[in-house]
A and B are shown apart, each in its own frame.
Chain A
Amino acid sequence: MATIRRAGASRPGTPAPENPATSSDLVARARSGDKRSIARLLTIVENDEPEAADAMRALYPDTGRAQIVGITGPPGGGKSTLVNRLAAAFRERASHVAIVAVDPSSPFSGGAILGDRIRMRERFLDEGIFIRSMASRGHTGGLARATVRVVNVLDALGTDVVLVETVGVGQEEVDVIRVADTVCLVTVPGLGDDIQAIKAGILEIADVLVVNKADRPGADETARDLAQMLSLAKDRPWKTPIIRTSAQTGEGLPQLLDAIAKHRSWSLSSGEHEDRRRAAARAEVEALLREALLRELEGRVGAARLNAAVARVAERSIDPYAAVEELLRR
Chain B
Amino acid sequence: MKRPIRVVVAKAGLDGHDRGAKVVARALRDAGMEVIYTGVHQTPEQVVETALQEDADAIGVSLLSGAHNYIFPRINELMKEKGLDDVLLFGGGIIPEADWPGLRKVGVERVFPPGASLEEITTYVRAAVPKKRGVEV
Residues of A within 8 A of B (CB): 1-8, 11-15, 35-36, 38-40, 42-43, 46-50, 105-106, 108-115, 117-118, 121, 124-125, 130-133, 135, 137
* Of the residues A11, A108, A132, contact of B54 by C-beta under 8 Å: A132
Q: Which A residues touch B28, using CB under 8 A?
A: 111
The B interface is mostly helix, strand or loop, or mixed, namely mixed
B46 at the interface (CB under 8 A from A): yes
Residues 25-54 of B, flagged 1 when their CB comes within 8 A of A and 0 if not, give 110111111111111001001100110111
Number of A-B contacts (CB under 8 A): 141
Distance in angstroms between the alpha carbons of A233 and B134 in the assembled complex? 57
Number of B interface residues at 8 Å Cβ cutoff, please give it.
45
Distance in angstroms between the alpha carbons of A204 and B90 in the assembled complex? 47
The answer to whether B30 touches A12 (Cβ under 8 A) is: no
Q: Which A residues touch B3, using CB under 8 A?
A: 3-4, 6, 43, 46-47
The answer to whether B54 touches A39 (Cβ under 8 A) is: yes
The answer to whether A121 touches B46 (Cβ under 8 A) is: yes
Residue of B nearest to A39 (CB): B55
B1 at the interface (CB under 8 A from A): yes
The answer to whether A109 touches B55 (Cβ under 8 A) is: no
The answer to whether B36 touches A111 (Cβ under 8 A) is: no
10 tightest Cβ-Cβ pairs between the two chains A and B:
A13-B85, A13-B86, A111-B29, A2-B32, A1-B32, A39-B55, A12-B134, A118-B39, A3-B2, A49-B1
Q: Which B residues touch A40, using CB under 8 A?
A: 55
B130 at the interface (CB under 8 A from A): yes
The answer to whether B37 touches A111 (Cβ under 8 A) is: no
The answer to whether B130 touches A114 (Cβ under 8 A) is: no
B87 at the interface (CB under 8 A from A): yes
Chain B residues 88-137 with CB under 8 Å of chain A are 122, 125-126, 129-130, 133-137
The answer to whether B35 touches A4 (Cβ under 8 A) is: no
* Of the residues A46, A106, A131, contact of B29 by C-beta under 8 Å: A106
Smallest beta-carbon distance A54→chain B, Å: 14
What are 29 inter-chain pairs, A to B, with CB distance below 8 A? Answer: A2-B5, A3-B32, A4-B3, A5-B1, A5-B135, A11-B86, A12-B133, A12-B134, A13-B87, A14-B86, A36-B52, A36-B83, A46-B3, A111-B30, A111-B31, A111-B33, A112-B34, A113-B29, A114-B35, A114-B36, A115-B39, A117-B37, A118-B38, A118-B39, A121-B46, A124-B45, A124-B46, A125-B49, A133-B34
The answer to whether A4 touches B130 (Cβ under 8 A) is: yes
Distance in angstroms between the alpha carbons of A50 and B45 in the assembled complex? 33
The answer to whether B46 touches A125 (Cβ under 8 A) is: yes
Q: With A6-B1, A38-B53, A132-B53 given, name 8 new contacts (CB 8 A).
A: A3-B32, A12-B133, A35-B53, A36-B82, A39-B54, A47-B3, A114-B36, A114-B37
B4 at the interface (CB under 8 A from A): yes
Smallest beta-carbon distance A192→chain B, Å: 31
The answer to whether A2 touches B1 (Cβ under 8 A) is: no
B71 at the interface (CB under 8 A from A): no
Tell whether A121 pairs with B38 under 8 Å between CB atoms, given A12-B85, A50-B1: yes
